[in-house]
Amino acid sequence: MVKKALMIIFALSVVLAGCAGKQPAEEQNNYIGNPWIDCATLEDAEKIAGFDIMVPDRIEGYPDTLIQAVDKDMIQVFYFDGSVNEEERSRVLIRKGIGNEDISGDYNVYSQNETVEMHGVNVDIKGNDGLIYNATWYQDGYAYAILPEDGMTKDLIEFFVETVK
């Protein structure tokens, strides 16, 4: 009996010693780093991504911009409205990336989904109540996405498709 108790104590001490140097799962730094690099100019983003993008300098009602790039992969430009409170800021996001897969990152379900021809490309548009919240297309080896948080009319999306493509 004493021998069995000693074996159990020994086994527990081995297990506890093995766990002593480990952090709890919630404290471990096992995550993927943010791949986006903030850029001062569009030219800086194009150098990082390895390709160019045509976007408007400004969008009326959205005076603030943030330009980001992922090394040899993607460029995104955020246009923010002038709200002081960041939680209430509305935005329009334009992305261009290498490939022919959806780069929108938008997995919402919309009541309206259709593919329409705009300026020689087929654009998948998704929205609700006559406003478009997601427009994506593929052209010449690149994927594009326009994501207006507050929605846009089809005519305005078509203007942006012409500008960006």
> 21 in a domain, yes or no?
no
Q: Residue 45 to residues 71, 75, 120, 125, 162: CA-CA distances in angstroms? A: 9, 6, 27, 26, 21
Q: Which of 38, 163, 145, 128 is nearest to 92 (CA)?
A: 145
> 3 in a domain, yes or no?
no
> 4 in a domain, yes or no?
no
Q: Which of 164, 92, 96, 104 is nearest to 135 (CA)?
A: 104
- The pLDDT of residue 104: 98
Distance of alpha carbon 68 from alpha carbon 139, whole angstroms = 21
Structural domain including 94 reads: 37-164
pLDDT in tens, 145-162: 999 999 999 999 999 999
> Is 76:94 a contact under the CB 8 Å cutoff?
yes
> 32 in a domain, yes or no?
no
pLDDT in tens, 39-77: 999 999 999 999 999 999 999 999 999 999 999 999 999
> 25 in a domain, yes or no?
no
pLDDT in tens, 90-136: 999 999 999 999 999 999 999 999 999 999 999 999 999 999 999 99
> 17 in a domain, yes or no?
no
Q: What is the identity of the amino acid at 160?
A: F
Our count of domains for the chain comes to 1
> 71 in a domain, yes or no?
yes
> 111 in a domain, yes or no?
yes
In the block, residue with structure tokens 């569009």: 42
pTM surpassing 0.85? no
Cα Rg of the chain (Å, integer)? 25
Distance of alpha carbon 51 from alpha carbon 143, whole angstroms = 12
